[in-house]
């Protein structure tokens, strides 16, 4: 059963992993996905986000999208919450994916601002208003202008928050000022999760409460330790962990996400490095750079 909006808002803290979708032979590898979820729970991750950008959601047909969420929810088995990516550039398709997510037991949905359409701020508000009017599941807004082509301005987020079903936001505009403005408008307790691994500590320094992370697919304990250290007022320890993680994080973004993290997981034997077109295998020179960063971090690859 989905959490209520206040319940989910209270859980949006710490490190949530933006899960990869493991493939084998062109199909979802259910067994590997269950193994990945178990490993994430054991590592102390606070929540899971399947079917986002990292999960190659644009390449998942509706039935498979629903399958990925169902398997993740089953594997998590109530141990940690699951917020499923369900946003598209079509309001009607978004509604369909939200209903699927609720049907298979997700605790909430992550909804990106409609991409490609480049809606106005009013259009963004009306999109979320229509979704909120039609669904019964908490929503985490996902602001990532680099992929959508439009920034969801803090004033718009404030209007959406007043509709009553917004549990928090994944903020990936890359601006501490924007985080500060969000918290000014929505209140200091409004859950803001960083959407860029390398900016987690800076965002938390101005009031964000955690991160939806890519790097935690391969380094969940270290990411969790960094966020926990900061939240427990152990700033020097958090900074040391940030400095250790930073080169690995940058290596995981030398090509379009999730190409590098999928490659890294293949090197670690966590799943295959299989991607779906239009994503292609990592350039060999970049694989060398990634492997070096992983070795420097302590992985045996």
Could you list the active site residues? Answer: 142, 170
Burial 203-232 (b: 16+ CB within 10 A, else e): bbebbbbbbbbbbbbbbbebbbbbbbbbee
DSSP β-bridge partners for residue 112 = 142
167 vs 12: CA distance, rounded Å: 8
Q: Which of 205, 230, 226 is nearest to 216 (CA)?
A: 226
Contacts of 92 (CB under 8 A, 6+ apart): none
Q: Give the single-character DSSP code of 43.
A: T
106, 82 Cβ separation under 8 angstroms? yes
């Amino acid at each position: 059963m989905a959490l209520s909006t206040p319940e989910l808002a209270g859980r949006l803290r710490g490190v949530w992993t933006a899960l990869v979708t493991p493939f084998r032979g062109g199909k979802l590898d259910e067994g590997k996905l269950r193994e990945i979820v178990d490993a994430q729970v054991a590592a102390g991750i606070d929540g899971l986000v399947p079917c986002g950008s990292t999960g190659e959601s644009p390449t998942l047909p509706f039935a498979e999208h629903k399958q990925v969420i169902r398997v993740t929810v089953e594997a998590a088995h109530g141990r940690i919450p699951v917020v499923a990516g369900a946003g598209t550039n079509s309001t009607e398709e978004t509604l369909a994916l939200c209903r699927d997510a609720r049907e298979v037991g997700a605790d909430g949905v992550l909804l990106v601002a409609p991409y490609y359409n480049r809606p106005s701020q009013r259009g963004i508000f009306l999109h979320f208003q229509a979704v909120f009017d039609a669904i019964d599941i908490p929503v985490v807004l996902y602001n990532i202008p680099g992929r959508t082509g439009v920034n969801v301005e803090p004033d718009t987020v404030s209007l959406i928050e007043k509709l009553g079903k917004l549990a928090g936001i994944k903020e990936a505009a890359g601006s501490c000022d924007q985080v500060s403005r969000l918290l000014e408008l929505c209140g200091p307790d409004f859950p803001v999760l960083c959407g860029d691994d390398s900016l987690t500590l800076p965002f938390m320094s101005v009031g964000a409460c955690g991160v939806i992370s890519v790097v935690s697919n391969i380094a969940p304990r270290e990411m969790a330790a960094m966020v926990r250290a900061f939240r427990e007022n152990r700033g020097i320890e958090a900074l040391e962990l940030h400095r250790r993680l930073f080169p690995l994080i940058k290596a995981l973004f030398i090509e379009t996400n999730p190409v590098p993290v999928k490659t890294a997981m293949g090197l670690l034997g966590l799943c295959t490095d299989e991607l779906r077109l239009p994503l292609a295998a990592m350039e060999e020179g970049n694989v060398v750079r990634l492997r070096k960063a992983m070795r420097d971090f302590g992985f045996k690859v």
